[in-house]
């Protein structure tokens, strides 16, 4: 009864376009009131959930990413990617995938990434004869893959939700992202031969050297993150602060194209985004509390029981749900509503928490770029100026490549576990 009323209130308000966090809040208050539970649960949850050292990494990574994007570091990364793979057939298309990997390393925001890559790459893609549908598909699928490349805000949130080390998740994401990237690159090679995409540029060591030199400033960040985490030198929160300082110094003193007023404005924007994300996480704890009391995890456990015998089947089932949630509710609301419910079942049947989190991160990334409603996809299409339905006919091979990559990550847990294990974040038996 309580559960039904709570879900009804949530869905009704969601349909009326009330922001999702307030749908969760109103539904939570209704559930607390109907169940006769103390309303103070809401007040204390808001403070308790946001009092977190790990989540403190969010404002600094967002601040750093926005500063680097504003300073135009994406352009030097695009040049590096073109110098690296542009000499292959369909090289410009493949550069989109490669630059998405690099750029996700410095930018924690998917929407900022779509916007930066679309502005930088759509014009040269059009000039090289790529259809707008293909350009949008390349950017959408590349950015979806980039979800797994740290530092993603989603990874910090899911680490808090499932009580895992954010550093372990950051390390775990590198190889799965490369695997999905590889699937996409193979597809681009095939498409290049079928559709006659040209080579972008001749192989030039001089160009590669120059591009590497120009990209050295932003490329320090992934090196610091990967190296620092691998050696256990610092935590995710400390890394966030270091990266924020580095990007500030680079933007103001090296690139010299960001004013102090713009820095303050970026700090403000980062603060609003941080507030929006963590407030959502905090309000959702009420919803999770009510679902727990109403026996939803047990109910879902029974529903998913047929899948429990086979871990990969269970993960696939949950990943499909996460993708759909990710498409409808966007990534973070999906994480705070669905994942806490299914996570205990996953660990009970022996799925490693880090593997589970990585699969869900990949699934949310794909969901964000899934037609017809993934917000990331809609944004890429806005830049390409094509409709969802026109685009879908050209997009399905990219979706298939993303899903093949996802299945590889699901079926081979070691892809996710190798780096955190070798860095000592996971016990050998794990």
Partner 1 sequence: MQAVLAIPKIVTGGLVLLAIGVMLYGVFMRYVMLPITDWLDVDPINFFWVEEVGETTLIWLTLIGAAVGVGERSHFTLTILTHHLPIRAQRIIHVGNNLLIAAFGGLVAWLGLKLAILNAMLTSPALEFSLAWLYASSVVGGILMALYALDAARRPAGPDHEITDVRE
- Give residues 16-55 in contact with partner 1 (rule: CB under 8 A): 16-22, 25-26, 29, 39-40, 42-44, 46-47, 50-53, 55
Shortest Cβ distance from residue 70 to partner 1 (Å)?
15
Closest CB to partner 1 among residues 104, 164: 104
Contact 352, 413 (CB under 8 A): yes
224 lines the binding site for partner 1 (CB under 8 A): no
Shortest Cβ distance from residue 344 to partner 1 (Å)?
25
CA dihedral 232, 237, 243, 246 (to 10 degrees): -100
Shortest Cβ distance from residue 154 to partner 1 (Å)?
6
Among 76, 191, 237, 311, binds partner 1 (CB under 8 A): 237
Shortest Cβ distance from residue 23 to partner 1 (Å)?
9
Q: For residues 71-100, which are near partner 1 according to CB under 8 A?
A: none
By CB under 8 A, the count of residues binding partner 1 is 75
User: For residue 31, what are its two tokens?
Assistant: 């559930």
Among 13, 215, 319, 402, binds partner 1 (CB under 8 A): 13
Q: 286-324: string of b/e by CB count within 10 Å (b at 16+)?
A: bbbbbbeebebbeebbeebeebbeebeebbbbbbebbbb
Residue 123 gets the label, from left (phi > 0), alpha (psi -120 to 50) or beta, of alpha
276 lines the binding site for partner 1 (CB under 8 A): yes
Q: Pattern 52-71, binding to partner 1, x per CB under 8 A?
A: xx-xx--xx--x--------
- Bridge partner residues of 199 (DSSP): 89
382 lines the binding site for partner 1 (CB under 8 A): yes
Closest CB to partner 1 among residues 59, 181: 59
Shortest Cβ distance from residue 36 to partner 1 (Å)?
16
Among 190, 272, 299, 303, binds partner 1 (CB under 8 A): 272
Q: For residues 317-346, which are near partner 1 according to CB under 8 A?
A: 328-333
Shortest Cβ distance from residue 230 to partner 1 (Å)?
17
Q: For residues 189-208, which are near partner 1 according to CB under 8 A?
A: none
Q: Pattern 352-371, binding to partner 1, x per CB under 8 A?
A: ------------xx--x---
Closest CB to partner 1 among residues 25, 181: 25
Among 201, 208, 212, 238, binds partner 1 (CB under 8 A): 238
The phi and psi torsions of 52 (rounded to 5 degrees) equal: -140, 130
Pick the closest to residue 42 from 277, 286, 276, 279 (CA basis): 286
Residues 6+ apart with CB under 8 A from 100: 113, 117, 139, 142, 143, 145, 146, 181
Q: Is 384 helix (H, G, I), strand (E, B) or coil?
A: helix
Q: Is 415 helix (H, G, I), strand (E, B) or coil?
A: helix
User: For residue 113, what are its two tokens?
Assistant: 């990434």
Alpha helix stretches (DSSP H) within 231-338: 236-249, 260-293, 296-303, 305-308, 311-329, 331-337
Shortest Cβ distance from residue 346 to partner 1 (Å)?
22
Among 73, 138, 278, 354, binds partner 1 (CB under 8 A): 278
String of DSSP letters for 90-121: THHHHHHHHHHHHHHHH---HHHHHHHHHHHH
């Amino acid at each position: 009864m309580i559960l039904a009323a709570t879900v009804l209130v949530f869905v009704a308000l969601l349909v009326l376009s009330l922001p999702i966090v307030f749908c969760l809040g109103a539904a939570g208050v209704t559930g607390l009131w109907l169940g006769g539970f103390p309303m103070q649960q809401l007040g204390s949850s808001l403070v308790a959930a946001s009092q977190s050292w790990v989540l403190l990494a969010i404002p600094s990574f967002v601040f750093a990413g926005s500063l680097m994007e504003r300073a135009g570091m994406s352009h030097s990364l695009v040049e590096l990617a073109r110098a690296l793979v542009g000499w292959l057939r369909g090289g410009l298309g493949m550069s989109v995938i490669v630059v998405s990997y690099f750029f996700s390393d410095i930018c924690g925001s998917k929407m900022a990434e779509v916007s930066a890559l679309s502005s930088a790459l759509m014009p040269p893609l059009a000039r090289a004869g790529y259809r707008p549908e293909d350009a949008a598909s390349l950017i959408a699928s590349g950015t979806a893959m980039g979800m797994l490349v740290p530092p993603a805000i989603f990874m910090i949130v899911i680490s808090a939700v499932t009580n895992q080390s954010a550093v372990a998740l950051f390390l775990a994401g590198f190889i799965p992202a490369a695997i999905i990237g590889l699937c996409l690159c193979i597809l681009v090679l095939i498409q290049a031969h079928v559709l006659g995409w040209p080579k972008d540029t001749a192989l030039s060591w001089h160009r590669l050297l120059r591009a590497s030199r120009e990209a050295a400033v932003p490329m320090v960040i992934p090196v610091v993150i990967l190296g620092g985490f691998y050696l256990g030198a610092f935590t995710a929160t400390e890394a966030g602060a270091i990266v924020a300082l580095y990007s500030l110094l680079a933007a103001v003193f090296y690139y010299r194209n960001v004013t102090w007023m713009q820095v303050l404005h970026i700090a403000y924007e980062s603060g609003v985004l941080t507030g929006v994300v963590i407030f959502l996480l905090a309000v959702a704890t009420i919803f999770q509390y009510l679902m727990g009391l109403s026996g939803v995890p047990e109910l879902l456990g029974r529903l998913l029981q047929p899948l429990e015998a086979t871990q990969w089947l269970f993960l696939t089932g949950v990943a499909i749900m996460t993708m759909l949630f990710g498409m409808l509710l966007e990534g973070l609301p999906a994480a705070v509503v669905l994942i806490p419910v299914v996570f205990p079942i996953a660990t009970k049947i022996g799925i490693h928490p880090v593997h589970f989190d990585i699969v869900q991160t990949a699934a949310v990334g794909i969901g964000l770029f899934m037609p017809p409603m993934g917000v990331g996809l809609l944004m890429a299409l806005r830049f390409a100026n094509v409709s969802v339905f026109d685009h879908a006919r050209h997009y399905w091979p990219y979706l298939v490549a993303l899903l093949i990559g996802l299945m590889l990550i699901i079926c081979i847990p070691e892809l996710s576990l190798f780096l955190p294990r070798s860095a000592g974040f996971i016990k050998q038996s794990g």
